[in-house]
Structures are given as C-alpha cells and as structure tokens.
Amino acid sequence: MRTPRSKPRSGPLGVARSGVLCALAFTLACMDTDDGGEEPPAEARGPDFDVRYQTKYVDIAPGFSQPVCRGSLDEIDRHVEVVADLLGISVEQRVLMFWYNQNATGAMAENSELCDWCSSGCGGCASTDATHVRNRSLHHELVHAVALPTWGRSDTLFEEGLAMGLDRVIGEYEGINSIYNLDLLGTTKPSDVAGSGQHGGAHFSRWLIDRFGPDDLRQMFERLTGSSTKAEVFAAVEEVYGLPFEELEAEYYATAPLAYPLPGLCEGLVHVPWEDGRWEFEASSDCDQPHMFGPADDGRNYAVATVDILPEHVGESLAVWVPSDVSALAWPCLDQPIYDVDPAVLGRSLFDNSILPPVFTMAMRYRVEVPIDDSEDVHLRLCPSNGLDPSHHPIDRTVDPENCLGD
C-alpha cells in the first residue's frame, strides 16, 4: 500500500501497489506495478482533477483550467491508434489520464504532485488504473497505457524499450538523436540493459518488431516481469527468437537501420504548400483549431504544420521570419527506415529571426512547431534567402524584413 505523500485523502485508497519497476535512469516513466483486480474508485486513481475531455480512447483530467487544444486532443487518439496498430493490439480499455502542468493557466497542482502518484519518480507513470503525465511524457506513457492491459509487464529492456522507441522525448540533442532514441549509437548494449532494471532498448525494440513482428515481442511480456534476471531474459529470448541473445544482438548491430519512422509524427497535420517562392503559414491561434497544440510544459500553446523541403532547396540558405520572434523547431519526418545518413546532420532544425538561415541537407517532409505567445496569430515564413542574413535588419525583429529571393 502506498499513500500519497502530501495530500491525505478521505476517499478509499484501495489499490495495493507493490514493487517499484523502474530505476529512474531517465526523467521519464516510472511505473507502479499493480496487483490487478477490480478497478478502484476515481479518487484512488489520481488527484482531484475533473475529466474535462473524452476523446475516442482517453479520459483526460487536466490539472489546469487552460484549454487543451484541438491538435493535442486529435494527436492523443492518433498516437493510441498508431501504437496499437504497430503492436497488433485492439484497445480494450479507456485510458484515464491525469495531466500536470504547473505553468498553464489555472494550474491546480505543482508538477511535483505527480511524484505522489508515481512511486519511483516524477516524470510520469502508467498503470492499468491511471496514467499520469506531463506534456513531455505524454506519448511515452500512452504507449505503456496501450500495451499494459493486453501485454502486461516485462523486463525493462522490452517494456521501457517499447515506450522509449515510440515516444517523443525530443529537443535535447543535436542531430537525428534529437527525435529518434538511437541507443544503437550509444555504448549501452541491449545485453547490458537486460535484467538490470535500467531504461534502454528503444531502438532494439523497434528492430525486433520490424524484423520478427509484434507477436514475438509480446512473448517477452508473457514470459518476463520487471524482476526477471538477466539469465531469465536471455533464456526467454533464446526460446522465442531461436538463437542465443549474443547472436541476436550481433545481428541487430549488423543489420539495423539508423532510424525507424516515428509512427504518427507527421500524420493528420496541416500542410503548408510551397507557393509563390516561399512557404508561408498564416493561421489563427484559436485553441480549437486543429493546427493548435498545447499547453506545452512551459504553458504556451504551439502551432504545428508540415512543410516539404524540395530537392531544389537542399543546400540552399533559407530565410526565416516569425513576427513574434520566437524560435520554431522542425523535425524530419521519415517515411521509411533510414540507413545511410550522418546522424549529426539529419535532425532538429531551428527557425529563428536572429540566427543564420537554416540549410537543409535532405529533401523530405518536416514537422514544424511554432510556439505562440499571447494571442497573436500564427505566422511563419520560410523562403530562399536573398543573402541578407538577419544581422542586416533586425533592430526590431518583429518587423517584416525583405529577405526572400524576389522581394
């Protein structure tokens, strides 16, 4: 039995929770193990946040009064569907999601209250009773929430690997590692993670699904638990995959592509076409619009769209103008596994009024996110530069500069 630390409750606390599953090697995703059984009453499943949104799959109880924007609501369902589809799972149970954001308008709880419900950390957690998230951990915990009711739990190599391989912990690194969790490039091998309780194996899990299908991975959930030993993990792998772990691992390093597409990353988004010599995204910042997402963990909403960088613009300096003078971010949308690319080159790009123009090295679709300050409308312009870098004109960087070819 675990009791919330700071907020004693009068309601029943009927959930016996035992066993801490994950060491918090990362800020994300600590998970309570649960003993199954009857669904507990709502007050035992989370804080006093009301369910204000019911999407197709998720009951969302935000810990703030600020609206959750249409794009985020749509993307939550899309993520549930792409994860379930990849794993061959039919979603049988609605997800109850408590969403913490101390920076949003009308915040009812500090983010630290999340620690009261996630026994081993404060990044987020999922059990079959409830899921506790911040915006940053939302995709990760939803993967757990989809897998748990039908697959149950497993060794962290598979359970956390699966969630990490499909989450969106992006923006902290340069290059393709900024969006795809490429433990392929790290020094910690899957055999190090197995039976250790560490989080890892994101890319390895994607490879297992891609190479052998989801049913074999599901066997790893049926045969293993969070307390399985390394020897038990190795034995289960050999039984199901038909070869010793070290041979499977050698095959992984020999054959895996650098990155797999992140399902759903660039689906269902507003697309900004190339028109009149530029990409120009002008839209309302009304939270009910499908291109509006949020609140992000900093409390701001953000607009999301896609742009296609065409082959003729690869290697070309592009000029950027964002009147609100915020930095927009762009991530590459892979549509198939990618093998030959410099991981340091393909990755996150920053669009900003005051830095050098971005140059793209590959023609592909990009997901662009523009933070929105106040209630200003959304405006982003991207165009082939006429050579005037931002230092030529930004006394007031919000004033429309003439720096597109053809201006």
Q: Given the rule CB under 5 A, which residues bind Zn ion?
A: 29, 160, 163
Give min distance, CB of 205 to Zn ion, in A: 12
DSSP summary character for residue 217:
H
Give min distance, CB of 365 to Zn ion, in A: 28
Are 346 and 175 in contact by the 8 Å Cβ rule? The answer is yes
> How many angstroms separate the Cα of 247 from the Cα of each of 127, 241, 243, 254?
34, 10, 6, 10
The residue among 129 and 369 lying less far from Zn ion, judged by its C-beta, is 129
3-class secondary structure, 53 = strand
Amino acid identity for residue 338 in this structure: I
Query: Cβ of 50: how many Cβ atoms within 10 Å?
Result: 10
Bridge partners, residue 308, by sequence: 365
DSSP summary character for residue 113:
G
The residue among 23 and 108 lying less far from Zn ion, judged by its C-beta, is 23
Closest to 299 (Cα-Cα) out of 121, 62, 60? 62
- Residues 265 and 249: their CA atoms lie apart, in Å, by 28
Give min distance, CB of 201 to Zn ion, in A: 11
- Bridge-based pairing state of the strands 301-308 and 270-272: parallel
Closest to 73 (Cα-Cα) out of 63, 58, 83? 58
Give min distance, CB of 96 to Zn ion, in A: 17
Give min distance, CB of 22 to Zn ion, in A: 6
Are 144 and 78 in contact by the 8 Å Cβ rule? The answer is no
Give min distance, CB of 167 to Zn ion, in A: 8
Amino acid identity for residue 219 in this structure: Q
DSSP summary character for residue 82:
H
Reported for 167-174, long-range contacts at CB under 8 A and 24+ positions apart, including other chains, are: 167/28, 167/137, 167/139, 167/140, 167/143, 168/139, 168/140, 168/262, 168/265, 169/26, 169/28, 169/136, 169/137, 169/140, 170/331, 170/348, 171/329, 171/348, 173/347, 173/348, 174/344, 174/347, 174/348
The residue among 143 and 233 lying less far from Zn ion, judged by its C-beta, is 143
Are 151 and 126 in contact by the 8 Å Cβ rule? The answer is no
The residue among 142 and 329 lying less far from Zn ion, judged by its C-beta, is 142
The residue among 160 and 183 lying less far from Zn ion, judged by its C-beta, is 160
The residue among 60 and 202 lying less far from Zn ion, judged by its C-beta, is 202
Give min distance, CB of 144 to Zn ion, in A: 5
The residue among 29 and 320 lying less far from Zn ion, judged by its C-beta, is 29
Give min distance, CB of 345 to Zn ion, in A: 30
Are 386 and 403 in contact by the 8 Å Cβ rule? The answer is yes
Give min distance, CB of 5 to Zn ion, in A: 21
Give min distance, CB of 71 to Zn ion, in A: 24
